[in-house]
Structure 1
Amino acid sequence: MIFSKKKMTCPLNYDSIPMNRAIEELTFIVFDTETTGFRVNAEDRLLEIGAVRVEGYKVKDKMTFQTFSNPNRLISQEISDLTGIASKDVEGAPSAHEAIRDFFEFLREQKADCLTGHYVSFDELVLKSEMKRTGSHLQMAPSIDTLNLIGYLAPSYDMRDLERYAQLFGTRMYPRHRAVNDALTTAYLFVELLELLRDRKVDTWGELLRVSRGRG
C-alpha cells in the first residue's frame, strides 16, 4: 500500500494474478459501505465499512472487518431508522480517511487478490469521494460486481436489490443495511454465483474477468 496525502493505492494482488489461476486458489474480500445518503460525491458521507474474506468457493465468516467513520454531520432520522446507526454511535469514530486506511490495512493482512461487492461501483465511489475531500487520489483495481455475474448467468433479471437476489438464488441472508451484514449476504451470493459459473466451465481468474466485464 502506498499512503500519502496525495495518493492512496488499494493493496491488491490483482495485476500479478496469472490468468490461468484457478478461482479456488484466489482470495476475495467482499465489502460494503453505509453512508448518510446517496449523494456521496456531494454532501453525503461515509458511515461504515464492512468486509468478509472469501477463499475460492468458501465464505470465511469469522474473518471480517468493520469500522465506523465519523461523517462530521448529523445522521438523519431516515438513515438511522434504515441502518440503526445514530450520531452518538460515530462520535468517537475515525475520520473517513483513517477508516479507509484501516480497511486497506485489512486487505494487506489478508493478502487479498480482488475486491468484490454488490453494485460495487457505488461503494468505490464512496471511498474515492472521501479521499478526494482530503486532496488525495485513490487508485483502485477493478472490482468484481455480483450484478455483472448475475447479468451473465441470468440476463433476464433487472434489479439491484441484494435481498431479492439472495432469495432468488437461495443463499444465506443477514439483517440488512449494516455494512458487515450486507457484506456477508453478498459473500454467500457471490460464492453461489461462482459455483454456477463453475458449472459453465468458468473456473479461472481469466474466465471470471471475462464474464464480469460482460464478455460472454
Structure 2
Amino acid sequence: MFFLRKNVSCPLINDKLPLSTPIQDVSFVVFDTETTGFQVATEDRLIEIGAVQVKGFEVVEQRQFQTYVNPNRQISREITELTKISNERVAGAPKSLEAITSFMEYIEETESVGLVGHYIGFDMLVLKSELKREKINLKKPVTVDTLDLIGYVAPSYDMRDLERYAMAFGTRIYERHSAIGDALTTAYLFAELLMLFYDRGNKTLGDLLKATDSQMRLML
C-alpha cells in the first residue's frame, strides 16, 4: 500500500534518471479521469480513471489501466448521458482510495518518469481532492500537459478540445468522455507531439520538462 503515511509521493522514477536521458528511452503514463462534475474540490467526485503507457514514441496499448470508482453520491442524468457511467455501473466499484492505490501500483509497474494529460491540472486536482478527503497529501509529481507541448510545437493553435487537436495532428480518436478512451486519444496525440518535438532538435527528458514547465504544472 502507498498510503500508510499522511504525505505520499507518486511512484515515478524521475529522480533515478538524469535529465540528459534520451526521450526515446523514457516511459510516461498518460491518464484521464471522469467525475460527477467540475467542482471536484468540494462536492463532485471521481467516477473513473483510465491510463495507458507511452514509451519512446509508441503507445503501449497492452499496458492499459481502467477502473470505475464508487463516488458515494448520485451521478446526475446529464453526467450519465455524457460519460455512459451510471449509478448501477459504479455501485460495486472500488472507493476512491482503493482505486487510486491501484492506479499508483500501475504507475510503479510501468517505471514511468512522469504523468501526462490533456489539461492535466484538472485531473491532478481530482486525485489530490480525493486523497485530501482521506487526510492524505499527494506530493507534486512530474507532469506534462499536452497543451503545453502543443504551445511549444505549434503555438498558432488556440483551442482546448482534445478531439479537435487529435484531428488537427492526424492522430487516433477513441470514445470521448470515457477516461480510458480519452487517455488513449491523448496518448496518441502525445506520441505524435513528442516526435515533432524530437525532430526539432529536442532530444532529452530535460528538454521536454523545460519546454512544458508551465505555471500550472509548478502549482500542482
Q: What TM-score, normalized by structure 2, do the two folds share?
A: 0.94
Matching residue of 1:74: 74
Asked if structure 1 preserves the Cα contact closer than 8 Å seen for 2:49 and 2:179, the reply is: yes
Matching residue of 2:201: 201
**Following the alignment from structure 2 to structure 1, what is the Cα–Cα distance between the partners of residues 213 and 113?**
17
When the two chains are superposed, the root-mean-square deviation of aligned CA atoms in Å is 1.4
**Following the alignment from structure 2 to structure 1, what is the Cα–Cα distance between the partners of residues 6 and 18?**
31
> Identity percentage over the alignment?
55
Once the two structures are superposed, residues 165-186 of structure 1 have per-residue CA deviations (whole angstroms, 9 ceiling, x without a partner) of 0001110110101111100000
The within-5 A match list for 1:1-216 is 2-4=2-4, 6-213=6-213
By how many angstroms is 1:214 displaced? 5.3
Aligned residue pairs, count: 215
Deviates more, 1:77-86 or 1:16-25: 16-25
**Following the alignment from structure 1 to structure 2, what is the Cα–Cα distance between the partners of residues 84 and 108?**
29
**Following the alignment from structure 1 to structure 2, what is the Cα–Cα distance between the partners of residues 195 and 176?**
24
Determine helix, strand or coil for the equivalent of 2:209: helix
By how many angstroms is 1:135 displaced? 1.0
Q: Unaligned regions of 5+ residues in structure 1, if any?
A: none
Asked if structure 2 preserves the Cα contact closer than 8 Å seen for 1:28 and 1:113, the reply is: yes
By how many angstroms is 1:213 displaced? 1.4
Asked if structure 2 preserves the Cα contact closer than 8 Å seen for 1:5 and 1:135, the reply is: no
Determine helix, strand or coil for the equivalent of 2:41: coil
Deviates more, 1:152-161 or 1:66-75: 152-161
By how many angstroms is 1:201 displaced? 0.5
By how many angstroms is 1:160 displaced? 1.3
Asked if structure 1 preserves the Cα contact closer than 8 Å seen for 2:113 and 2:142, the reply is: no
Moved segments of 4+, more than 2 Å = none
Asked if structure 1 preserves the Cα contact closer than 8 Å seen for 2:3 and 2:136, the reply is: no
**Following the alignment from structure 1 to structure 2, what is the Cα–Cα distance between the partners of residues 69 and 9?**
21
Asked if structure 2 preserves the Cα contact closer than 8 Å seen for 1:3 and 1:9, the reply is: no
Asked if structure 1 preserves the Cα contact closer than 8 Å seen for 2:117 and 2:183, the reply is: yes
Q: Unaligned regions of 5+ residues in structure 2, if any?
A: 216-220
Determine helix, strand or coil for the equivalent of 1:48: strand
Once the two structures are superposed, residues 12-57 of structure 1 have per-residue CA deviations (whole angstroms, 9 ceiling, x without a partner) of 0122221110011001110000000011001000000000011110
Determine helix, strand or coil for the equivalent of 2:20: coil
**Following the alignment from structure 2 to structure 1, what is the Cα–Cα distance between the partners of residues 30 and 168?**
20
Code of the residue aligned with 1:205 in structure 2: it is L
Asked if structure 2 preserves the Cα contact closer than 8 Å seen for 1:172 and 1:189, the reply is: yes
**Following the alignment from structure 1 to structure 2, what is the Cα–Cα distance between the partners of residues 93 and 14?**
31
Once the two structures are superposed, residues 112-132 of structure 1 have per-residue CA deviations (whole angstroms, 9 ceiling, x without a partner) of 221111100100000000001
Once the two structures are superposed, residues 42-97 of structure 1 have per-residue CA deviations (whole angstroms, 9 ceiling, x without a partner) of 10000000000111100011110001110011100110000000000000111111
